[in-house]
Structure 1
Amino acid sequence: MWEKKVVDDLLLEIGTEELPATYIEPALKQIETLSKKLFSEERVPFKEIKTYATPRRLILFMREVAKKQDDHIREVLGPSNKVAFDSQGNPTKAAIGFAKSQGIEVGDLVTRKIEKGEYVFALKKEPGRTTLKVLPKILKQIITSISFPKSMRWPQSNIRFARPIRWLLVLYGTKTVNFSLGKLKAARLTRGHSLLSTKTIMVKNIAKYEELLKNNYVIIDQEKRRKTIEKAITNAIRKTKGKLLEDKELLDEVNYLLEYPTAVLGHFKEKYLKLPREVLIICLRHHLKYFSIVDNGGKLLPYFVALKDGISEYMDNVREGYQRVLTARLEDAEFFFKQDSKRKLDENVEKLKGVVFQEELGTLYDKTQRVIKLSEIIAGLANANCKKSTLRRIALLSKADSVTEMVGEFPELQGIMGREYARISGEEKIVADGIYEHHLPLSSSGELPHSLEGAVVSIADKVDTITGDFCVGFIPSGSQDPYGLRRQAQGITRIILHKKLALPLDILIDEALGLLKKSAHFSRRRLAEISEIKNQILRFFRPRLESILTEAGINYDEIDAALAVDFSDLVDAELRAHSIHELRKSPDFEPIIIAFKRAKNILKQAEERKIKVQSSQFNEKALKEIEEKKLCEGLNRIEKETEKFLKEKEYQGALEKLVSLRKPVDDFFDKVMVMVEDKKLRNNRLALLNRIVDLFYKIADFSKIVVE
C-alpha cells in the first residue's frame, strides 16, 4: 500500500451520443483490459479498476494510481567479455569506451551470459516521470483502441468511435489531465440527463462525482441501475397479482438504454391473449422492450411493464402512449394471424418457388426439396428410427411459414408460426413440433430438438445451408460470419452428439454436395471446384467439436490425439477423447505414451532412411531375443482382447488393455536393438513396432499427448 501523498484516484468519462445497448458491456471489458495493460507497460501502479456506463457515457475509475512511474533499469548490451577484458581481467579500450559512452564508470559494467555467449552490459537507471505527463498518452490509447461492431466518423474528428464523442471528463486527483482528442479537449466538465438536466456540470472532486450525477438524474453504476429497475418493476406489478416473466437478456439490454429508469404498468385487451403466446411476447419484448407479466402457472396476463428514462411525472399520459403503440402492433398481429389461418400450411409450399434463397442455390422450394431428400439420407446413414412419411412431411413444411404475413412482419417468429399454423391445419403433433424444432438450436448453447425427426430435419437443413454457402464462396473468415455458418455447424455437432447419431460427416457432406450439383444453378467453374469443397467443410467442423470437448473438460492434447485419427464420426471421436481423459489418471498412462512416441520416432527415422515396413511383414518365427518374443506374445493377446472392446466402442476398456503392454514394451526397448545391421532382423522388429503403433492408432495418435 502506498502512502496517501504518492497516489491519487483517476476518473475518465467519455461522453457520447447514445450508444447501442449491445455495444456497452464489451466496451467496458475492453476498457478494463486496456487500462491494466497500458498502465502496466508504462510502469504506473494502481490498486483497483472499476468501469461504469450509461447510454451516453463510458467511465473508467481507478483507485490509488501512483503519482509517478516506477524507475526503470535499462540494460545496454556492450562488447563480448573476451573483447572487453584482456587475459588478466583488465578492461580493454573497448570496455572503457563503452562505459564512457553510457556515462558510467568501467567498474560498474556487469557481465551477463546470453545466447551468443558472455557479454558486458551497462545498467542505466531511468527515473520515472510523473503520472500527469504519461496519462495523456495512455488515455488517448485507451479511447482509440476500443473496437465496436460498427464505428463511425463525424465532422471535426479524425478518430472512429461507435457514436460521436461530445465531451471528455478527465480528473487525476483534483487536477485536470490536459490532452485533446481531435478538436475535443479534456476538461473537468460533464453533463447530466439529456432531458432533465441540460446544463454543463463542473466536477471539482472525484469522490462527489457519482452523487453529483445522480442529482442530475443519471445513475452511472449499472449494477445500482439494474437494482433500481428490478425494484421499480416489482412495485409496478404488485396490483396485478402476477409476476414478471423472467427475461435476463431484456433486462440487460434495457439497463443500457436508460440513465434514470422509472417503471410504468400498462395493460392491453384480453382478446389479444388468444394470439399464440410467442406472438404476444415478441410484440412486447422485441419491438417495444416491454416486460411480460404472468400468473403463478406461467400464463400471460393482459399487463406489461415498460421503462421510461426520467422521473415519474405525467405517468397517465406516458402509460396511454405505451398502450397505444402496443395496441397498434397487436392489431397488426391479430390481422396477420387471421389471414394466415384461412389457408392450410401446405398451400404455402408452392409459393416458395417465388422466393429466392440464393441466386446460384435456387429458391426456397429448391432448398426444401434438397432437405426432404437429405433428411431421408441422414435417417438411413444413422439408422434412425424415423417414419419416412413423417420426415418428408416435416421437411416439406419446414419453410412454408416464411411466406406467411405474420413471419413477413415478425421474422423472429419463423418456425414458431410454422408450428402454430401446422396445428391449425390439422397436422400431426410430431410434424408441427418438428417444423419448429428444425430451426433449433437458435444459439451456440440454445435448446436442442426433442424429437428424433426434428433433429434429422434440422441437420439436413443446416448441412444444405453450409455446403451451399461454401460452394458459392460465402465462407466465414476471421470474425466475419454474416450467414451464421459457425453457429449452424455448432448446432449440427451438438445435435449429433446429443442424439448419439452414428452419422459419418464425410459421407453426409458428399451427399449434400451431390444434391446441390443436381438442383443448384452452378457454372462449370463452380462444378469443377466442388470436389475441393468437401475437405474445407470437414475442417470447418473440427473447431466446433474441439470447442464442445473443451467445455466438457477434455484437455487440448487429448482432443488433438483423438481427432488426429478421425473425427468424421463425431460420437465416436467424443467417446475416444473422453476415454483418453479418464485413462490419464492411471500411473501407467505416461510411461506407455513415452514408449509409443519412442516406437513412432524409430519408425519415422526408418522412413527417413527410406526403410518402409508394414505390420503385415512381421514374422513371429524370426524373433530371436526373449524380450521381443514376450512383447509379441503380449501383443497377440492384447490384440484379441481389445478387438471386442473396439467393436463395441468401449474405448476405456481397450485402453486399459493397451497400457498393460507397458512392461514388455519397456523391456523390449531396454534389451533389444531395433536398427541392427541384419536387414531381415531389423525389418521384422520394425514391423513389430508398427503393429503396436497401428493398434494404438485405432483409438488416437498418442504422439499428440504432452508428457512432462
Structure 2
Amino acid sequence: MHKHNLLVELLVEELPPKALKKLGAAFAGVLAEQLQAQGLAEADARLTSFASPRRLAAHICGVAARAPDRPVAHKLMPVSVGLDASGAPTQALLKRLAALGADATAVPGLRRAADGKAEALYLDSVQPGVSLAVGLQKALDEALARLPIPKVMSYQPESHGNSDGASAAFVPGWSSVHFVRPAHGLVALHGAEVVAVHALGLRAGRSTRGHRFEAAVDPLPLPDADSYAATLRTQGAVIASYAERSLEMVRQLRQAAASLGARLEVEQGCAGLSTEEIEQRLLDDALVQEVTALVERPTVLVCAFERQFLEVPQECLILTMKANQKYFPLLDAQGRLSHQFLVVSNINPADPSAVIAGNERVVRPRLADARFFYDQDRKRSLESRLLGLAKVVYHNRLGSQGERVERVRAIAGAIAQRLGDAALQRQVEQAALLAKADLLTDMVGEFPELQGIMGRTYALHDGLEPVVAEAIEDHYKPRFAGDALPRNPVGLCVALADKLETLVGLFGIGSLPSGDKDPYALRRHALGVLRMWIERDLPLDWAELLALARPVFGDLITDPSAALTEFVFERLAGSLREQGYGAHEVDAVLALRPTCLAEVPRRLEAVRAFAALPQVAALAAANKRIGNILKKSAAGAPAAPSASDAGAAPVQPQLLAEPAEQALYAALQATLPQTQAQFEAGDYRAHLLGLAALHGPVDAFFESVLVNADDPAVRANRLALLRTLHRAMNRVAELARLA
C-alpha cells in the first residue's frame, strides 16, 4: 500500500493574531488525529504544523493512499433472543442483520461467544479501508469544525475570490460560507498528487500564495508535499512555521539590541539565567507571540524618538509602545528606557529609511499624548481626587469606590495595629486612603494597566513618604502567579486588606466562583493572601482577620466566614500540592484548620520528617483507632454513664491496673512535658519526633488492655488516658490521615 507524506494548507485573509498559534496547532492536531483514527496514518506519524497570518497548514508523514481493511465484529443480541427453540432466526435477529446490510443467509455463519453469564451472537465482517480522498475530507471537515474560533463571519465565496488577483477553484453550490476569515485557497498534496477534497467552497489544488509584495512567483505552484516550507521561504518570501518565524524574529531582536549596547525590555530581570532560559522567556512573551502572528517574514529595524519624551515615567512610554504600536522598547545597562526602540517589519526593502521614518512618525503622537496626560495629572494631588471616588461604582450591592476605600482603610489599619506601631498604622491608613485615587487620572483612564504605578509616581510628586508611595503601587500585588510581593510592611498591610475586603464582600453577597468562571478573580485574591501570609511569616489569626473585616460592611452582607474559610483552605491545599507536598501530608495538616497560616509550612516539614520514621504506620493506625473509640464513646456507647464527662476527667493513676496501661501512662508522663514545650516554641519537628517514643507503649496497650472494661470507672479512666494521648498526638496534624 503506497505511503507518501501529506500536506494540507488553507489560505485565508489575515487571521486574528492573538489566536493564530492555537489555530495552527488545533488545525494540524485534529487533521492528524482523524487520519490516524481512520487507519490512514500511524499513531506515531510525524506531524509539523504551520501558521502564518494568511495560512494554516499541516505536514503529516507516512500517509497511506488507502487504509487497510479491518475485521469488524458486530455484537447482535443474546442467543436466546436471536434464535428460537429450533435454532431458526427470530424476527428481531433478521431486522438487526438487515440494518447491517445482511440477510438470513448470514445466520449459519454467525459466531457464538460468551457475554457475561449469557451467550451472544456476533456477525464477523471485513470493513474495507477508506480511501485518502474520503478520509481526508472527513478529517478536514472535522478540523475546521473544531477550530477554537470565538466568532465567525459570513461571506459569499465568489464575491471574495482572491482579492490579490488570482483565481480561486470554487466548488459550485456554495452560496454562503461561515469562517473566521474569507478563505482563498486550498492545497492538498499526497506526495506529488493532488487529493480531491474541498472546504469552505474551495476545491483543493497545488498552488498557494507567497508574500503579498515580495514573492518571486505568484501564484506559487508546489511540486510536492515535502517542498512546501522550502518553496515558500525561497520563492514566496514567507517563513510558514510559526516556531521558526518566532525564533528568527527573536534572533534579530537580540542581535539589534546587542549592536546598540542595550537589551530588550522583556529581558529585564533575566540576570543569572542561561542563554536558553532567556530565549525561552522571550519566546513566551505575549508581544513576541503577537508580532510573530502579524508578519510572514520578520525584518527588525532600529528606530528612535526625541529624548525629551524620556521625562515621562518610562512605564507609560513602554506601555504605549508595546500595546498601541507593537514596538519593542530597549533599556540601557542601568534598566533605564532608551530613546531607541525596535520595530518588526513585514517587508525587507533595500532602503529601510522610509519604513523607519514612518514608524517614528506614528509613535510620536502616542508619546506626546502620554506626556500631556502626565503633565495634566500632576496639576492635581491624589488627595484632591478622593471625593470623585464616591461617584465611581465599585459594585451595585457594595457601593462606590469611595466606600470601598474606607473599608480597606479600616481593615488595613487594624492589621497594622497587630503587626507594628502607631507610625506603621498612620502610614498604612494614608496609603489605603490614596490607593485608588489614580483611577481618576487621565493616564490611568487611557492605560488601565498603569493603575498603582501612576499612583506611586504621583504620590512622590505630591511629597509623600517613599514607603507610602511604594505601598500605593504594591497594594495590587501579587497580581498573578509568581509576581513579586509588596516590598515593605506598609504595602503588605494594604495589599492584604484590599484582597480581604474583596473576598469578604463578594462572598458576603453570594458572588462565588463557579466552575471555570471567576469574574472577580477571587481565586487569585485568595492565593495572594496566602502567599503574603506564609512567605512573610505574618503572626496573624485567620478567624481574627475575618472578625476584623466582617463588621466594616455593616448590613450590606451576610456572614461569609464558613464558605470563605473552606474556599481559602481549598486554595491553600491546591497550592501546597503544586509545591510538591504529598496529598496525605497536606490533608493531615489542614484537617486541623490551623488559624495561623504562616505555621503551615513548618507543620508540613515536621509531618514529612515524622512520616519518614519506621514507626509512623503503626502510630497513625493507632491514632485512627483511638479516634474511632473516642467517637463511639462520645456518641453514647455504654462505656460510661456520661462519655463526655469521662473524657473530660483527668487520668486517675490508682485505677490503672494493667501493666500495659501503667506503662503507657508512665511514657506519657515522661514524654509530654518536653513535647508540649517544643510545640509551644514552634518546634513542630521535634514535637512529632518526640512522640515516636510512644510507639512501643501504644502497641502494648492495644495488645493486652480491653478499653471497654466491665467496671465503668476503669472504662472511663482508660478513655481519659486515650484522650490525653490523642490530644498530644494531633496538635501539629491529624496523624490518622497518614495511615
- Distance in 1, Cα, partners of 2:716 & 2:195: 77
Matches within 5 A, 1:467-482: 467-482=504-519
Matches within 5 A, 1:226-237: 226-234=246-254, 236-237=256-257
CA 1:675–1:421 in 2, change beyond 3 Å: closer, same or farther? same
**Residue 625 of structure 1: which of 655, 658, 665 is its match?**
658
Contact 1:379 1:386 in 2 (8 A): no
- Distance in 2, Cα, partners of 1:598 & 1:644: 26
CA 1:265–1:346 in 2, change beyond 3 Å: closer, same or farther? same
**How far is 1:616 from its partner?**
2.0
**Residue 502 of structure 2: which of 456, 460, 465 is its match?**
465
CA 1:463–1:12 in 2, change beyond 3 Å: closer, same or farther? farther
Structure 2 counterpart of 1:668, one-letter code: F
- Greater alpha carbon shift after TM alignment, 177-186 vs 692-701: 177-186
**Are residue 643 (structure 1) and residue 676 (structure 2) matched?**
yes
Matches within 5 A, 1:372-521: 372-382=409-419, 387-517=424-554
Q: Counterpart of 2:394 in 1: which secondary structure? A: strand
C-alpha distance after superposition, 1:392-423 (max 9, x if no partner): 11112111211112212222211111111111
**Are residue 22 (structure 1) and residue 22 (structure 2) matched?**
no
C-alpha distance after superposition, 1:465-514 (max 9, x if no partner): 23333344543322222333322222222111221113233332343232
C-alpha distance after superposition, 1:28-54 (max 9, x if no partner): 565677678666665652333333322
Give the TM-score, by structure 1 length: 0.84
**How far is 1:189 from its partner?**
5.1
**Are residue 544 (structure 1) and residue 571 (structure 2) matched?**
yes
Structure 2 counterpart of 1:68, one-letter code: A
Partner of 2:62: 64
**How far is 1:560 from its partner?**
2.1
C-alpha distance after superposition, 1:427-456 (max 9, x if no partner): 111111111111212222112111011111
- Distance in 2, Cα, partners of 1:172 & 1:691: 78
**How far is 1:268 from its partner?**
0.7
Matches within 5 A, 1:37-76: 44-65=42-63, 68=67, 71=70
**How far is 1:385 from its partner?**
8.8
**Are residue 245 (structure 1) and residue 265 (structure 2) matched?**
yes
**How far is 1:260 from its partner?**
1.3
**How far is 1:126 from its partner?**
5.7
**Residue 670 of structure 1: which of 690, 693, 703 is its match?**
703
Partner of 1:588: 615
**Are residue 193 (structure 1) and residue 211 (structure 2) matched?**
yes
CA 1:459–1:263 in 2, change beyond 3 Å: closer, same or farther? same
Contact 2:77 2:121 in 1 (8 A): yes
Contact 2:47 2:58 in 1 (8 A): yes
- Distance in 2, Cα, partners of 1:193 & 1:390: 59
**Residue 601 of structure 2: which of 548, 562, 574 is its match?**
574
- Distance in 1, Cα, partners of 2:155 & 2:711: 83
**How far is 1:561 from its partner?**
2.2
Contact 1:353 1:364 in 2 (8 A): yes
- Distance in 2, Cα, partners of 1:698 & 1:269: 66
- Pairwise CA RMSD of aligned residues? 3.9
**Are residue 141 (structure 1) and residue 152 (structure 2) matched?**
no
Structure 1 counterpart of 2:676, one-letter code: E
CA 1:546–1:51 in 2, change beyond 3 Å: closer, same or farther? farther
Partner of 2:648: 616
C-alpha distance after superposition, 1:175-220 (max 9, x if no partner): 5555555655665554433555595544442211112222323212
- Distance in 2, Cα, partners of 1:202 & 1:560: 63
C-alpha distance after superposition, 1:60-110 (max 9, x if no partner): 333335663695675959879xx99xxxxxxx9999999999979999866
**How far is 1:464 from its partner?**
1.6
Contact 1:45 1:69 in 2 (8 A): no
- Distance in 1, Cα, partners of 2:88 & 2:612: 57
Structure 2 counterpart of 1:583, one-letter code: F
Q: How many residue pairs were aligned?
A: 679
**Are residue 11 (structure 1) and residue 7 (structure 2) matched?**
yes
Contact 2:14 2:181 in 1 (8 A): yes
- Distance in 1, Cα, partners of 2:315 & 2:110: 82
CA 1:99–1:58 in 2, change beyond 3 Å: closer, same or farther? same
Contact 2:155 2:178 in 1 (8 A): no
- Distance in 2, Cα, partners of 1:582 & 1:385: 41
CA 1:629–1:276 in 2, change beyond 3 Å: closer, same or farther? same
Contact 1:28 1:52 in 2 (8 A): yes
**How far is 1:323 from its partner?**
1.0
**Are residue 293 (structure 1) and residue 330 (structure 2) matched?**
yes
CA 1:591–1:187 in 2, change beyond 3 Å: closer, same or farther? farther
Identity of aligned residues (%): 28
- Greater alpha carbon shift after TM alignment, 123-132 vs 505-514: 123-132
Contact 2:110 2:122 in 1 (8 A): no
Partner of 1:205: 224
Structure 2 counterpart of 1:151, one-letter code: K
**How far is 1:128 from its partner?**
7.3
- Greater alpha carbon shift after TM alignment, 292-301 vs 167-176: 167-176
Contact 1:99 1:106 in 2 (8 A): no
Partner of 1:151: 151
Partner of 2:169: none
- Greater alpha carbon shift after TM alignment, 667-676 vs 607-616: 607-616
Q: Counterpart of 2:341 in 1: which secondary structure? A: strand
CA 1:459–1:37 in 2, change beyond 3 Å: closer, same or farther? farther
Q: Counterpart of 1:307 in 2: which secondary structure? A: strand
Partner of 2:277: none
- Distance in 1, Cα, partners of 2:441 & 2:482: 29
- Distance in 2, Cα, partners of 1:407 & 1:502: 35
- Greater alpha carbon shift after TM alignment, 22-31 vs 199-208: 22-31
- Distance in 2, Cα, partners of 1:604 & 1:288: 68
**How far is 1:383 from its partner?**
5.7
Partner of 1:89: none
- Distance in 2, Cα, partners of 1:199 & 1:455: 61
Structure 2 counterpart of 1:332, one-letter code: D
Partner of 2:561: 534
Unaligned runs of 5+ in 2: 98-105, 157-173, 268-281
- Distance in 1, Cα, partners of 2:543 & 2:636: 35
**How far is 1:580 from its partner?**
2.0
Structure 2 counterpart of 1:441, one-letter code: P
CA 1:584–1:49 in 2, change beyond 3 Å: closer, same or farther? farther
Contact 2:12 2:181 in 1 (8 A): yes
Q: Counterpart of 2:591 in 1: which secondary structure? A: helix
Structure 1 counterpart of 2:358, one-letter code: G
- Greater alpha carbon shift after TM alignment, 211-220 vs 681-690: 681-690
Partner of 1:696: 729
CA 1:71–1:421 in 2, change beyond 3 Å: closer, same or farther? same
Structure 2 counterpart of 1:271, one-letter code: Q
- Distance in 1, Cα, partners of 2:144 & 2:411: 51
Q: Counterpart of 1:401 in 2: which secondary structure? A: helix
Structure 1 counterpart of 2:582, one-letter code: N
Partner of 1:656: 689
Contact 2:78 2:118 in 1 (8 A): no
- Distance in 2, Cα, partners of 1:6 & 1:673: 79
- Greater alpha carbon shift after TM alignment, 14-23 vs 162-171: 162-171
Structure 1 counterpart of 2:569, one-letter code: R
- Distance in 1, Cα, partners of 2:183 & 2:421: 58
Partner of 2:276: none
Q: Counterpart of 1:627 in 2: which secondary structure? A: helix
C-alpha distance after superposition, 1:341-392 (max 9, x if no partner): 2233322223322322223322222222111111011223456896121111
C-alpha distance after superposition, 1:284-322 (max 9, x if no partner): 222211112233333322111111222335622222221
**Are residue 306 (structure 1) and residue 355 (structure 2) matched?**
no
Contact 1:503 1:569 in 2 (8 A): yes
